[in-house]
Structure 1
Amino acid sequence: MKRQRRRKVGPVGQTSSAYATITDLPNELVEKIVEDVDDDGSIFRLSLTCKRLHFLVLPTFFSRSDLEDLQNGFFRCHDPGPNLLEALRMALFVRHLSTFTFYFTGGIEQVMSDILSLRGLLARIPPVGTIHLGLPDYIWNLDRERWGKAFLKLLESIANSGCRDLGLLNPRGYPPSYDFCDNLYVATPLSAIAKSTGAKSRGTRKSGRLRNATHPHSTGMSTIKLLSSSLFQPFFMGWIIHMLEVNQDSLVCIQLNVASIYQTGILPSILDSMNLPAVKEVEISSRFHISGVDMCSFLNRHPSINSLHLDGILPFKDPQIPDPPIILPYLTQLTALPPMLTSLLQHRNMVPLLSSVHVLLNGNHESELDLLVAVATHNHISSLQFSTVLVNDFSLAFESYIREDKSTRIITSLAHIRSVVLNKPDPVHPGKSSPLTVKRWLYLFPHLEHVTLSFRLLDDRVKLSDEERHGVVIEFATQFAADRPTMKTLSVESLPAVNLDDLRRMPGFKNTPAAGSRKSNRALHRKECSCK
């Protein structure tokens, strides 16, 4: 028997004796077939066959990775699949990216492939303004020598590509704070290794700048975020210092997340080498409390700072050397542990524009009480924010404040505070808080206008409906509105903010049982203070 030959339909309905292929089908049918294919690798390979399928197939490939904003210049992927970056490099319709966020995953071959693809992508398209990269912890167990050298070249390419915002992030992308982040390893450019180890590199200039520094897109970075704690080791110190030197005239924001650094002394070396005349935002965080860092010299070299975040950094005290006065004429926001805050708020220090202080509670309630006294000496501070991991820290700290305030000295001197924020404790950590204790502590601020609280500070019950949670907040707000005529708003986590003026205008507000009960508690508090 003769095999019957298949006929192919031409673009205008004509037929021929050749076999039909997928390229002869209408676009709608091709897209439908591709949607039914489960293997992403097959879809990627299909996109490489011809230009028509390239533009038809690749959008489906990207949509499966939730990449919907490529046309608008945004790329963000936390869990990439194989060939994703290679497909992005090959995509002819991706001609411009303004933001690029990518987290390397997989084994050594996948990491190597993605590094090479990313270098090729950056070489093909115009400069990407914001680049954030993350690597997993297990990368240390892979072929470090192999992937490390490739990543060094990638960082060199990024530094010379015109990137303005560089972030080397932890695996989950969370900033360093009391939501502690995971470790991350990031390598260092080859030219910096040569500089830090004393070896000569033919590609480096005598000035110490990166190779190819005359690249037409090289403009200097404004933001460097090194949120990888594993990055801060002696081997990488040369690259960190080098990047700060190369971009010293353009850097506006610098963030460093360090860990176990007290054993190596790297942080003092980095701070001593930093001279950033234009820097405005500085954030240094550590999982461990680090002392022995001369912050006075660093801060006085950077009077342009308006936002300072020092998490895990303790003041260095030498009884034989008095601390020099710190002058930060533009500082408006300050975040630190109580001992560091107390040191920075001394009378000798000049922070005339400081309006917001964020306290990171650490369980040392004596130092926290000293902090409140120090805050009382600065009438320009109007906002206080408190954060902790354990909800018990709030209650213990509040009890210390109330117990030590025997002559209402702190109460009268904190009249300039208008806003208080108590950050949400981690629900994983157990702990109970008394709403009465929180209310009594808030009375230390006689002219308070705005309060933001964690719901667990009002009610530690877990399973409550939204209606019940709203009722708890309204009850607390009603009691507070009766006793504090200056109070305007109360915010509790995700619940709608309560306008206390609206509560006061409700009929019969002054006769509510909650208000009367609160007045009794207030009288009781005054009686306790007088007895003490």
Structure 2
Amino acid sequence: MPPPNIVELTELPHELLMQIINPLDDESICALAKTCRHLHFFALPLFLSRHGVRTLPPNCVSITCPSKKALSVLWASLFMENIKKIQFHTIDEDADRLLSDICSLRRLFARLPSFCSLPLIYSTHGFIENSALHNPAFDMRKWSAELSALLDTAIQKSCQSLYIFGTDDVSTSCSSRPDPQEQLATKVGKVLPGKASRKLFSFFSRAKIPPDPPRTQLNDFIIASSMLLQTQFFRWTLSTLQANAATVTQLKFNKAIANSSTWHQLLSTLALPLLFSFELIADGQLVEGKNVDLRDVEVFLTRHPSILILNISGIPIPDLVPQFQNPILPRLCYIEAHPKFIAWLLHYHLAHFQTLKVVTITTESSDFGYNKYDEALEAISLSYVNIAQLSLNFVSNNGHEWMQKHISSSMTPLRSIITHLSRITSLTIQTNYWMMLDDRDDPMVQLLPQFLALFSSLEKVNFNQQLCATQRANLKGCKDIFKKILSACPRVKTILINSAVIDLAFLEV
């Protein structure tokens, strides 16, 4: 028994304990983590952080370009039992790790009782295809099968949110070599009895632990990868959505490229009764044969009256747009889309959007003609919908010409369309970080007070995507423009920058 005045290592303050452990090498830290539960939870995260693995509150582990040893140590760690979110960033420019990391992740998933979220991020576009082309040993078919099995394992573990990002393209040529594991299983089965065969084969099997029975709880499926819409994965993607149709509430396709026939099959087949949020942001490259057909979008939206939030972008809209044959989206509350798409919806369905409150008009390129906004604004002004919040997106600095046009027309008998938007009380102006409110020489900043004054009922203005910080000391340069806005718009009581409320009293505005 140690003397009473001797302090044990685990009783030291955490700051002092960290100074003792931090200089140790990896092997010593791993050995220390095996001595007791307290040091396991204290020392092991230090080793893992050195190798691309961080534990984040609450119950999240972020894995970024990890070493093989780190994945092995993570599998054996005690705190993995409580992990609910796993975020994995793959290693770039290492084809040898593509397959082995997927296998290690699947082994890790199999150990967990359950988890709720999996963001899987391939950061280099086209890297998978390059690996297949330049590395003869890379087996595309095997990798595709392992990745599909990994995602299936995640869903079986009650994963509620899948987010797949990157790998825009996957080589269409798969290796025709026979699967070595299948060959091994055949040979072993012929030589050994069943029990011995299963025991030996378990060392090489893809599934180290028998899979749990399927538990369909997938709620959010976010696809920011063209890979899942291409030949190797499309069948898996479609069947997974169909198998989880009763639980999926959020579906997003973010800049995923696919053939028009693929989009047609996907949008015309799916039926998700609880879907409340749908996003389809096409790549914006209007290439023949790779566009999303507006008619397919119409079919999908008509089949999903449960949608509350809709974000549509990058879809070619013909000059003669089709009219809807049936009522559509009766519960829609928020829409973010190209002005022509918004006009299309509102012009033909004035009576079917009584819950719509927020409209965000987007642009799709730096050479966008802002006169296209007028079509959407006119549809809003003519509708009977009580839209209270409007957001305008300016991706380039030529928007001041459009602003000036409306300011000038407001002084004529015809007046500006904007003056008819009497129900708009909240306006957000997004400027993609190119405009600074304290830049007095910027023509758009100079026009802001007069432009905002066109909105007769405006009470709140939010300047989003601003570079300036919202701390009081950093806003002194904005004091002049704030004064002019409040003078031109007497009903405005709240100004925000990047959604943070500005203390106008402190600025003496």
- TM-score by length of structure 1 reads 0.71
Once the two structures are superposed, the pairs formed by residues 134-153 of structure 1 within 5 Å of their partners are: 134-137=121-124, 138-142=127-131, 143=138, 144-153=140-149
Residue 46 of structure 1 and its aligned partner are, at CA, apart by: 4.3
Q: Is the 8 A contact 2:74 2:80 kept in 1?
A: yes
Q: Is the 8 A contact 1:326 1:344 kept in 2?
A: no
1:342 aligns with 2:331: no
* Matched residue, 2:158: 162
Residue 291 of structure 1 and its aligned partner are, at CA, apart by: 5.2
Distance 1:339 1:114, change over 3 A: same
Q: Is the 8 A contact 1:185 1:231 kept in 2?
A: no
Q: Which amino acid aligns with 1:134?
A: I
Q: Is the 8 A contact 1:296 1:326 kept in 2?
A: no
Q: Which amino acid aligns with 1:103?
A: H
* Matched residue, 1:391: 397
**Of 274, 294, 312, which aligns to 1:278?**
274
Distance 1:54 1:348, change over 3 A: closer
1:418 aligns with 2:425: yes
Q: For 1:2-60, what per-residue CA distance to the aligned partner results, in whole angstroms no more than 9, with x for missing partners?
A: xxxxxxxxx869xxxxxxxxxxx96789986752245x4x4576479877886675233
Q: Which amino acid aligns with 1:95?
A: E
* Matched residue, 1:100: 86
Residue 72 of structure 1 and its aligned partner are, at CA, apart by: 4.8
Q: Which amino acid aligns with 1:425?
A: N
Q: For 1:443-469, what per-residue CA distance to the aligned partner results, in whole angstroms no more than 9, with x for missing partners?
A: 22111000112587xxxxx99998885
Residue 253 of structure 1 and its aligned partner are, at CA, apart by: 0.5
* Matched residue, 1:485: 490
Q: Is the 8 A contact 1:95 1:126 kept in 2?
A: yes
Residue 477 of structure 1 and its aligned partner are, at CA, apart by: 1.9
Distance 1:341 1:455, change over 3 A: closer
Q: Is the 8 A contact 1:300 1:327 kept in 2?
A: yes
Q: Is the 8 A contact 2:324 2:348 kept in 1?
A: no
**Of 215, 233, 255, which aligns to 1:218?**
215
Distance 1:72 1:297, change over 3 A: closer
Q: Secondary structure at the residue paired with 2:80?
A: coil
1:248 aligns with 2:227: no
Distance 1:255 1:186, change over 3 A: farther
Q: Is the 8 A contact 2:358 2:389 kept in 1?
A: yes
Q: Secondary structure at the residue paired with 2:454?
A: coil
Q: For 1:334-376, what per-residue CA distance to the aligned partner results, in whole angstroms no more than 9, with x for missing partners?
A: 0001111111111434111111001112413332111111111
Q: Distance in 2 between matches of 1:428 and 1:186?
A: 41
* Matched residue, 2:447: 437
Distance 1:71 1:435, change over 3 A: closer
Q: Is the 8 A contact 2:221 2:248 kept in 1?
A: yes
* Matched residue, 1:4: none
Once the two structures are superposed, the pairs formed by residues 307-346 of structure 1 within 5 Å of their partners are: 307-316=309-318, 322-346=323-347
Distance 1:390 1:152, change over 3 A: same
Distance 1:58 1:343, change over 3 A: same
Q: Distance in 1 between matches of 2:372 and 2:62?
A: 42
Residue 164 of structure 1 and its aligned partner are, at CA, apart by: 1.2
Distance 1:325 1:364, change over 3 A: farther
Q: In structure 2, list runs of 5 or more residues that go unmatched.
A: 132-137, 173-208
Residue 391 of structure 1 and its aligned partner are, at CA, apart by: 3.0
* Matched residue, 2:305: 303
1:257 aligns with 2:254: yes
Q: Secondary structure at the residue paired with 1:83?
A: helix
**Of 335, 354, 357, which aligns to 1:355?**
357
Distance 1:413 1:127, change over 3 A: same
Q: In structure 1, list runs of 5 or more residues that go unmatched.
A: 1-10, 14-24, 171-181, 188-211, 457-461, 510-532
Q: Is the 8 A contact 2:54 2:62 kept in 1?
A: no
Q: Distance in 2 between matches of 1:71 and 1:385?
A: 33
* Matched residue, 1:364: 369
Count of residues in correspondence between the two structures: 437
Q: Is the 8 A contact 1:162 1:218 kept in 2?
A: yes
Larger-Rg structure = 1
Distance 1:259 1:401, change over 3 A: farther
* Matched residue, 1:195: none
- TM-score by length of structure 2 reads 0.74
Distance 1:463 1:260, change over 3 A: closer
Q: Distance in 2 between matches of 1:310 and 1:101?
A: 27
Q: Is the 8 A contact 1:421 1:453 kept in 2?
A: yes
Q: Distance in 1 between matches of 2:500 and 2:59?
A: 34
Q: Distance in 1 between matches of 2:402 and 2:337?
A: 16
Q: Is the 8 A contact 1:314 1:340 kept in 2?
A: no
Q: For 1:381-440, what per-residue CA distance to the aligned partner results, in whole angstroms no more than 9, with x for missing partners?
A: 011112243232x323323434555422524421110011011324499x9543232222
Q: Is the 8 A contact 1:419 1:449 kept in 2?
A: yes
RMSD: 3.8
Q: Is the 8 A contact 2:469 2:475 kept in 1?
A: no
Distance 1:30 1:492, change over 3 A: closer
Q: Is the 8 A contact 1:361 1:368 kept in 2?
A: no
Q: Distance in 2 between matches of 1:108 and 1:44?
A: 30
Q: Is the 8 A contact 1:102 1:134 kept in 2?
A: yes
Q: Secondary structure at the residue paired with 2:311?
A: strand
Q: Is the 8 A contact 1:43 1:61 kept in 2?
A: no
